[in-house]
């Protein structure tokens, strides 16, 4: 199942995409990875979906990465008498920790961490930013606010504090239970929500212990103050534009998206753009022109992957949404301007032998018009280095580790293949040539460029570059 594009598609599973037949159709339409959203659904639901993914993977013979997306802390107000109130602009409104039902004057906010972080003049956003309060006076367990933007406020609506770092771990007790469950299942990526500082990623990495890769979701403005260190500690980043767009003005979100993508590319880390990409396709078979342009912009900016959320989880047209995203990506990647940007975006290699080899592989492949770059890897590092160079040919990742093959499903330009272990260099060359031919990346008479680390099986030791011909009788490809 060779893709005719480099950027990847991440599709969220839900009630609309839980059956094996639907998921198979989704993958055939273009989904490279799937997301299990742990903000919704019981563990047994996620287990069933996980099993369905692995069944489809076995049937199609294509590694499919699975991302478990942790919910993270949810800051919510309590209940109201009658279920809701209407706050008038200019009125005062109290937030406190009393257990009484809320009224037009006050409501319970059971989060002492918020009272510890706010100050006079702090803005508080409610219901995804629809309402805005400004703190006038506060104490250890209360805040008197002025309603800046009024509206209807109902039970359990969320609260955001955009200009403060909250003394809250990114992992709640629920997240910890979910994380253990997901790791025991065998998920490939863990999506870490509510990241504010590098310590949040370090805490998660200690708990995960190498059993899955970490994708840090950038949805808090505070994270942008530590972006470089968060990227260093993460395996990938996600631009979570929904939550980020609540806490920063909408006009800043596109700028921040470009900044995050550029920083990730410089560091050689994959980056996903998410939220509301084809939102109208939840209920319509085609997207708006603005949505198509939004997806295209992410691809022009160098995103490794773009994500569908409700479109595939609960939408009426999940397969059509994936197919449309696939078409948009293919169109962009054939555009001369995209190719110009891709070439201009290539970073200078770092001062290591591994990076020099990877940069040389991209240049050699272009010079000799090779059909593909083949990376033989045990940890994925050789493949990631190749992808960082954004070569003009596909990257074929050969690995004996199914976990690595699945993780690479998120990475730009990479087609993963599980293959047997090797013991010598000549065996690696034969394996690479056969795989390139078998997977449809090279024909008889074409050349491939190979990179690997010797001795084999030692992570991070990319130190070999080799050119090979796909030659002779093709009987070995059977």
Ordered mean pLDDT values, 10 residues apiece, the chain (478 residues): 94 96 97 97 97 97 97 94 96 96 96 93 93 96 96 94 88 97 98 96 97 96 95 97 89 95 94 96 97 97 97 97 98 95 79 85 94 92 92 94 96 92 82 92 94 73 86 51
Domain ranges of the chain: 8-72+171-335, 81-160, 353-477
Q: Which residues pair with 80 in a beta bridge?
A: 102
Cα distances (Å, whole numbers) of residue 166 to 161, 199, 243, 356, 437: 8, 13, 15, 42, 54
Mention every residue, 6+ apart, whose C-beta is less than 8 A from residue 475: none
> What is the reported pTM?
0.92
In Å, how far are 163, 275, 292, 376, 411 from 297, measured between CA atoms? 28, 14, 9, 32, 18
User: Measured between alpha carbons, how far is 112 from 116 in angstroms, rounded to an integer?
Assistant: 6
CA 227 to each of CA 95, 304, 378, 448: distance values in angstroms, whole numbers, following the listed order: 32, 18, 28, 37
- CATH number for 8-72+171-335 (one of 3.40.50.1370, 3.30.1490.20, 3.40.50.970, 3.20.20.60): it is 3.20.20.60
CA angle 137, 138, 140 (to 5 degrees): 165
| Angle of helix 253-267 versus helix 289-300 axis, rounded to 10 | 30
- Report, as residue numbers or ranges, the catalytic residues: 35, 76, 217, 275
The reported pLDDT for the residue numbered 475 is 43
To 5 degrees, how large is the angle CA 65–CA 66–CA 71?
A: 145
Query: What letter would DSSP give residue 80?
Result: B
C-alpha 82 chain-centroid distance: 40
- What pLDDT is recorded for position 477? 42
Domains 81-160 and 353-477 alike in fold: no
Cβ neighbour number for residue 423 with a 10 Å cutoff: 8
Residue 87 CB burial class (10 angstroms; 0-12, 13-18, ≥19): buried
CATH T-level fold of 81-160: M1 Pyruvate Kinase; Domain 3 (2.40.33)
CATH number at 353-477: 3.40.1380.20
Rounded CA-CA distance 33/30 in Å is: 9
Residue 122 DSSP one-character state: -
Query: Parallel, antiparallel, or unpaired: how do β-strands 462-469 and 447-453 relate?
Result: antiparallel
Q: What are φ and ψ of residue 23, in 5° steps?
A: -65, -40
First to last CA, the chain: 17
């Amino acid at each position: 199942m060779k893709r005719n594009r480099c950027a990847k598609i991440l599709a969220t599973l839900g009630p609309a995409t839980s059956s094996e037949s639907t998921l198979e159709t989704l993958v055939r339409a273009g989904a490279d990875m799937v997301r299990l959203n742990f903000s919704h659904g019981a563990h047994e639901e996620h287990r069933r979906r996980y099993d369905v993914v692995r069944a489809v993977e076995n049937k199609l013979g294509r590694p499919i990465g699975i991302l478990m997306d942790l919910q993270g802390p949810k800051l919510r107000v309590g209940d109201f008498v009658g279920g809701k109130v209407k706050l008038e602009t200019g009125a005062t409104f109290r937030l406190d920790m009393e257990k009484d039902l809320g009224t037009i004057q006050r409501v319970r906010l059971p989060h002492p961490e918020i009272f510890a972080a706010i100050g006079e003049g702090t803005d508080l956003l409610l219901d995804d930013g629809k309402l805005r309060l400004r703190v006038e006076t506060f104490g250890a367990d209360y805040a008197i606010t002025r309603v800046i933007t009024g509206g209807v406020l109902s039970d359990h609506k969320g609260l955001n504090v955009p200009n403060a770092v909250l003394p809250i771990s990114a992992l709640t007790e629920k997240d910890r239970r979910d994380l253990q469950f997901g790791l025991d299942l065998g998920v490939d990526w863990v999506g870490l929500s509510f990241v504010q500082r590098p310590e949040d990623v370090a805490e998660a990495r200690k708990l995960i212990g190498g059993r899955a890769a970490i994708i840090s979701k950038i949805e808090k403005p505070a994270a942008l103050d530590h972006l470089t260190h968060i990227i260093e500690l993460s395996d990938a980043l996600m631009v979570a534009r929904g939550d980020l767009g609540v806490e920063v003005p909408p006009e800043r979100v596109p700028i921040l998206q470009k900044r995050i993508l550029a920083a990730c590319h410089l560091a050689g880390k994959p980056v996903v753009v998410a939220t509301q990409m084809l939102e109208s396709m939840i209920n319509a078979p085609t997207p708006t022109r603005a949505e198509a342009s939004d997806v295209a912009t992410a691809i022009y900016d160098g995103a490794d992957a773009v994500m569908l959320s409700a479109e595939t989880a609960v939408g009426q047209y999940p397969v059509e949404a994936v197919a449309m995203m696939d078409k948009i990506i293919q169109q962009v990647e054939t555009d001369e301007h995209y190719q110009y940007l891709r070439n201009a975006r290539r970073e200078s290699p770092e001062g290591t032998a591994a990076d020099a080899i990877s940069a040389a592989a991209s240049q050699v492949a272009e010079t000799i018009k090779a059909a593909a770059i083949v990376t033989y890897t045990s940890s994925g590092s050789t493949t990631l280095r190749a992808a960082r160079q954004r070569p003009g040919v596909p990257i074929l990742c050969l690995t004996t580790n199914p976990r690595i093959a699945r993780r690479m499903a998120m990475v730009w330009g990479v087609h993963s293949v599980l293959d047997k272990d090797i013991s010598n260099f000549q065996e690696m060359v034969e394996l690479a040539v056969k795989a390139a031919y078998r997977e449809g990346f090279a024909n008889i008479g074409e050349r491939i460029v190979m990179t690997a680390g010797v001795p084999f099986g030692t992570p991070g030791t990319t130190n070999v570059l080799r050119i090979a011909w796909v030659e002779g009788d093709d009987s070995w490809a059977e």
